[in-house]
């Protein structure tokens, strides 16, 4: 996305976001190793939720097409909202070291989300018709995000009566852009 960002400020922001995400991966892999996971990277494909992989593929299509609005919406609004909801939820029940790590990650995720909201907010003010297209993308991606949450919580043995909270936090976070 850096290569087709519309201006220098967006390019710089995305470059710093890439560094943030690399740091998140590093600390999460380190924490998983501390918790006894021997090959977290090697198990990624086998353990990844199919809905999350479909999301990744769809985001890749937006990036490959150099579709700035769709890519920044999918990455910096939908995906960052998903991460915010999941990490915030996990932080509530995690051990203190994991909760501390997630709190640090959430600070960056809020900044990444803010970039997406601000960038798209400016674009929507100039081209309000884009809202209809983003709403269609949101519907498609919401299905994948909510299915990922449901599958993950079911696999963790979380009772059905307690599974709505993460999805609710996600939907509330995404709705701040006003695309509902």
C-alpha count within 13 angstroms, C-beta hemisphere, residue 179: 27
- Phi, psi dihedrals of residue 177, rounded to the nearest 5°: -75, -15
> What is the H or E stretch that residue 100 is in?
helix 96-126
39 occurs within a structural domain: no
CATH of residue 130's domain is: 1.20.1260.10
pLDDT tens across the length of the chain (180 residues): 999 999 999 999 999 999 999 999 999 999 999 999 888 888 777 788 999 999 999 999 999 999 999 999 999 999 999 999 999 999 988 999 999 999 999 999 999 999 999 999 999 999 989 999 999 999 999 999 999 999 999 988 888 888 888 998 898 888 887 777
143 occurs within a structural domain: yes
Q: Which domain does 53 fall in, by range?
A: 49-175
The number of domains in the chain is 1
Please state the pTM of the whole predicted model: 0.92
120 occurs within a structural domain: yes
């Amino acid at each position: 996305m850096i290569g087709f960002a519309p201006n220098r400020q967006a390019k710089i922001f995305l470059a710093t976001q890439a560094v943030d995400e690399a740091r998140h991966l590093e600390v999460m892999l380190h924490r998983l190793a501390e918790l006894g996971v021997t090959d977290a990277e090697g198990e990624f494909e086998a353990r990844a939720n199919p809905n999350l992989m479909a999301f990744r593929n769809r985001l890749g299509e937006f990036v490959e097409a150099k579709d700035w609005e769709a890519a920044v919406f999918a990455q910096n609004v939908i995906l960052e909202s998903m991460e915010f909801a999941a990490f915030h939820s996990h932080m509530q029940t995690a051990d203190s070291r994991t909760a501390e790590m997630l709190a640090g990650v959430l600070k960056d995720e809020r900044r990444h989300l803010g970039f997406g909201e601000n960038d798209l907010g400016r674009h929507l003010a100039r081209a309000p018709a884009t809202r209809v297209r983003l709403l269609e993308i949101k519907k498609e991606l919401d299905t994948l995000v909510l299915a990922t949450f449901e599958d993950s919580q079911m696999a963790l043995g979380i009772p059905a009566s307690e599974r709505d909270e993460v999805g609710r936090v996600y939907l509330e976070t995404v709705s701040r852009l006003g695309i509902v």
